[in-house]
Structure 1
């Protein structure tokens, strides 16, 4: 797509706006595992696949968002869906559960069908995953609203299981809490399908996802994937309304501390 000079300037201003709000918010909240009541945040969920030729630009966009806003209250998750796996290339990060999660958004947002790449922000808006302008606008909108609770996380590991304890300071009624184990970076050499011959970089890959009805406090177990190294992963938690899909609070924690 060809952008005019005016559009390019508008996008640059929008990206700066994201960074400015993020820096301000982070200065008030030095604990990376907390998203205190009243703090703005944006949960950015990308549905993607190595088998989809339109997806690499979307993967690049979330990588750009991640790199250019390191102190932002952005919680980025890339779900690799499995419905492209029959096109000649099986995405090693794909999972049927992530396709099912995307189907939930079809229902919540009254969409007609699944598609990739797709970005959903705070469970309330969706756009084509490679559309930078629409994505930044959705993030800016999310960052103009307050969270409705505070999530605190603590973790410990025994063998190949991660024990995650959480506390939620907010109204748990009608909500689910989701805990995502996220691999920060990876690459794949694709030898078949629509992306044959391409080396695809990925960021913020969801490797495991656990959900339950929100409680004030509880513990969950997450099985770590093969080759797990804590410095290469982080844990993202968010609370989501089961009826509307609206995400009302979020937090994250590095696992190498």
Structure 2
């Protein structure tokens, strides 16, 4: 009998440490890189390539890359097949959050707080290091289920601010484009982590539920992934992120 109580206490402490570690892992630091780019911009290919390298090198270190192809280059001789006016609007929203004007490409914004020229590798990597040491303020869980051309996303969020939204991005991991006109004429460009669909969910009333996301026609689980993140819409700060 003398050994039962100490053994029970030790088991309790071990279980408690495990739970504590799991809780802490949900709140560990992260870096969400949002790249604003375009096939029509001659300064963008180096930034695209750098984002691809960072994604490959750091994908297991809580680093996430989203590449938004804006549409304001589309009238300069070449229309980007991945461009979307909604992504241009998102970039303008960041300009308001950060008090920076005008917008530009290639621009990378880390955790919704600070921006970098997307091709400046040293500055960008230092920004990632700084972001990773700051714990997340929100935790997010995602479960997905594909039904025909739609994706059902079950989500649960903890630790949000008063005006938060959940963003669900459908991301194409890689694509190549043969550019025939514009500043990148006669080049074959490789793109990484292309946002093909971005849907938001208001978290002010319900922090747990199911969202339905429309999938691109060429969607498959091998070449695409789903990334969700929680954002404070008063400041633009990203509070937490998760890959499904």
Tell me if the contact between 2:167 and 2:230 (Cα under 8 Å) persists in the aligned partners: yes
Tell me if the contact between 2:154 and 2:210 (Cα under 8 Å) persists in the aligned partners: yes
Q: Which residue of 1 aligns with 2:169?
A: 180
Distance (whole Å) between structure 2 residues aligned to residue 219 and residue 60 of structure 1: 35
Given the alignment, which residue of 27, 35, 40 partners 2:29?
40
Q: Which residue of 2 aligns with 1:116?
A: 105
Specify the SS of the correspondent of 1:173: coil
Given the alignment, which residue of 216, 221, 234 partners 1:243?
234
Report how far residue 36 of structure 1 moved. Answer: 4.5
Distance (whole Å) between structure 2 residues aligned to residue 167 and residue 35 of structure 1: 17
Report how far residue 88 of structure 1 moved. Answer: 1.1
Specify the SS of the correspondent of 1:177: strand
RMSD: 1.5
Q: Which residue of 2 aligns with 1:195?
A: 184
Aligned pairs, number: 222
Q: Which residue of 2 aligns with 1:138?
A: 127
With 96-105 and 208-217 compared, the bigger mean Cα shift is at 208-217
1:230 aligns with 2:221: yes
Instruction: Provide Cα deviations, 1:82-140, integer angstroms capped at 9, x if missing partner.
Output: 01001111111100000000001110010011110000000000011101111111111
Report how far residue 227 of structure 1 moved. Answer: 1.4
Instruction: Provide Cα deviations, 1:147-168, integer angstroms capped at 9, x if missing partner.
Output: 0121111111111111111111
Change (3 A) 1:171 1:69: closer
1:104 aligns with 2:93: yes
With 54-63 and 130-139 compared, the bigger mean Cα shift is at 130-139
Q: Which residue of 1 aligns with 2:143?
A: 154
Give the TM-score normalised by structure 2.
Answer: 0.87
Tell me if the contact between 1:179 and 1:237 (Cα under 8 Å) persists in the aligned partners: yes
Q: Which residue of 2 aligns with 1:6?
A: none
Structure of larger gyration radius: 2
Distance (whole Å) between structure 2 residues aligned to residue 35 and residue 223 of structure 1: 33
Distance (whole Å) between structure 1 residues aligned to residue 186 and residue 114 of structure 2: 34
5+ residue gaps, structure 1, are 1-27
Distance (whole Å) between structure 1 residues aligned to residue 101 and residue 34 of structure 2: 19
Tell me if the contact between 1:182 and 1:205 (Cα under 8 Å) persists in the aligned partners: yes
Q: Which residue of 2 aligns with 1:76?
A: 65
Q: Which residue of 1 aligns with 2:49?
A: 60
Distance (whole Å) between structure 2 residues aligned to residue 128 and residue 149 of structure 1: 27
Specify the SS of the correspondent of 1:106: helix
